[in-house]
């Protein structure tokens, strides 16, 4: 039985199969409309995330399955003090697949150790957010035609931004991917990421300003500076407007440099960028549903809960 806790749970070859399946679902949605008839998915969200939860639910509903769950810890048994381990055991009796989001890092790993159904990590604190990574990879593959040979700029909160960490960990497995980190020093990428890049001999640069590097990027991945990741309000207020991408800065970018963003945005991408054909962040959302459909199918088959 398979789980998705980090993007590394799937090999590059397995990811290619997953993305091929996602593309097939995108092109032939009717073929898959009843693929999960009679199957149930539990969405266990210990912290609010309407977008990620609805994306998973939309994916399951699109496959003909059913969904149930909770969207905050206060409406779950966690409020009574139940452990993640016990919740995973209990949910395994109710559902065929479990999606968990939790503010603590490693919570999905714990769930996968105790569940008897596949577990999808929908975000564990500032640690990993693998389904967003799959979304990002599928989007890049469709925009660029390949997951090899490009320079990607990652901008904003690179310290606490789990989408960034997961994406970097996934992209290092492809050939000739170069990283350009753009962040204030206070929010630079954690040491374990740069250590890993150095160890693998993968080129990376660190910059402060978008304008200095935007002209030589193939992709620009923007992130929000998240209020909930700060310990105090003062730091948040000081840094939140540090990086704003607008139409002026986009003039400096190559004609085929796509802009991605895991959303929700606050003001780090000005609305005047939205109509730019290089703004790909809303297409990214749609790819997120297709890749989650492919993931649900793949994991349910791995658990013997769908025929191969």
Partner 1 sequence: MLNVGKIEEGFVLDHIKAGKAMVIYRHLGLDKFDSPVAIIKNAHSEVMGKKDILKVECGIDQLDLDVLAFIDHNITVNVIKNGEIVEKRSLSLPKEIRDVIHCHNPRCITSIEQGLPHIFYLADEKKEIYRCKYCDEKYRESARKPY
- Cα gap 144→275, rounded to integer Å: 19
CA distances (Å), 132 to each of 52, 75, 164, 260, 304, in order?
Answer: 8, 25, 9, 12, 25
Site map 225..254 versus partner 1, x via CB under 8 A: ------------------------------
132/298 with CB nearer partner 1: 132
Q: Residue from 31, 34, 38, 103 that binds partner 1 (CB under 8 A)? A: 103
CB of 114 to partner 1, least distance (A): 10
Residues facing 61 on adjacent strands:
none
Q: Minimum Å distance from CB 162 to partner 1? A: 11
The answer to the question of residue 124 lying near partner 1 (CB under 8 A) is yes
Site string for partner 1, 127-146 (x = CB under 8 A): x-------------------
Size of the site for partner 1 (CB under 8 A): 19
Q: Is 106 a residue that touches partner 1 (CB under 8 A)?
A: yes
| Strand intervals (E) in 55-96 | 66-70
In the list 191, 233, 234, 308, the residue contacting partner 1 (rule: CB under 8 A) is 191
Beta-sheet strands, E only, within 213-299: 219-222, 258-260
Stretch that binds partner 1, among 69-77, 189-197, 239-247, 263-271 (CB under 8 A): 189-197
Q: How far apart are CA 294 and CA 59, in angstroms?
A: 9
Q: Which residues of 178-216 are buried (b: 16+ CB within 10 A; e: fewer)?
A: bbbbbbbeebbbeeebbeebeeeeeebeeeeebeebbee
Nearest to 168 by CA among 144, 208, 137: 137
When binding is defined by CB under 8 A, the residue of 14, 20, 72, 195 that contacts partner 1 is 195
Residue 99 touching partner 1 (CB under 8 A): no
Give every CB contact of residue 83 below 8 A, 6+ residues apart in sequence. none
- Two structure tokens written together for 161: 């931004």
Q: Are 258 and 233 in contact (CB under 8 A)?
A: no
Looking at the Cβ atoms of 52 and 166, the one nearer to partner 1 is: 166
First vs last C-alpha separation in the chain: 13
Considering the rule CB under 8 A, would residue 104 count as an interface residue with partner 1? Answer: yes
Least distance (Å) from partner 1 to the CB of residue 200? 12
Q: Given the rule CB under 8 A, which of 7-15, 80-88, 174-182, 274-282 is the region that contacts partner 1?
A: 80-88
94 binds partner 1 (CB under 8 A): no
Which residues make up the interface to partner 1 (CB under 8 A)?
A: 83-85, 102-107, 109-110, 124-127, 191-192, 195, 199
């Amino acid at each position: 039985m398979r789980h998705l806790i980090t993007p590394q749970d799937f090999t590059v070859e397995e990811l290619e199969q997953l993305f091929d399946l996602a593309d097939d679902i995108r092109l032939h949605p009717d073929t898959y409309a009843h693929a999960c008839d009679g199957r149930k998915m539990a969405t266990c969200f210990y912290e609010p995330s309407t977008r990620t939860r609805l994306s998973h639910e939309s994916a399951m509903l699109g496959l003909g399955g059913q969904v149930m769950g909770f969207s905050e810890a206060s409406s779950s048994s966690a409020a009574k003090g139940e452990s993640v381990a016990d919740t995973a055991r209990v949910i395994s009796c109710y559902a065929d697949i479990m999606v968990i989001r939790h503010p603590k890092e490693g919570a999905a790993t714990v769930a996968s150790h105790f569940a008897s159904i596949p577990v999808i990590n929908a975000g564990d604190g500032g640690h990993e957010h693998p389904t967003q990574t799959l979304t990002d990879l599928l989007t890049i593959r469709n925009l660029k035609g390949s997951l090899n040979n490009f320079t990607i700029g990652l901008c904003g909160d690179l310290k606490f931004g789990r989408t960034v960490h997961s994406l970097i960990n996934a992209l290092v497995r492809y050939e000739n991917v170069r990283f350009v980190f753009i962040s204030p020093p206070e929010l630079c990428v954690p040491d374990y990421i740069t250590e890993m890049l150095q160890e693998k001999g993968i080129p990376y640069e660190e910059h402060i300003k978008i304008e200095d590097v935007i002209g030589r990027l193939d992709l620009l991945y923007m992130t929000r500076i998240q209020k909930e990741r700060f310990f105090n309000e003062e730091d948040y207020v000081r840094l939140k407007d540090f990086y704003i991408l607008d139409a002026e800065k986009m003039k400096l970018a190559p004609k085929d440099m796509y802009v991605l963003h895991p959303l929700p945005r606050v003001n780090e991408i000005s609305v005047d960028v939205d109509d730019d054909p290089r703004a790909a962040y809303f297409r990214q959302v749609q790819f997120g549903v297709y890749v989650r459909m492919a993931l649900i199918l793949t994991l349910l088959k791995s658990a013997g809960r769908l025929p191969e």
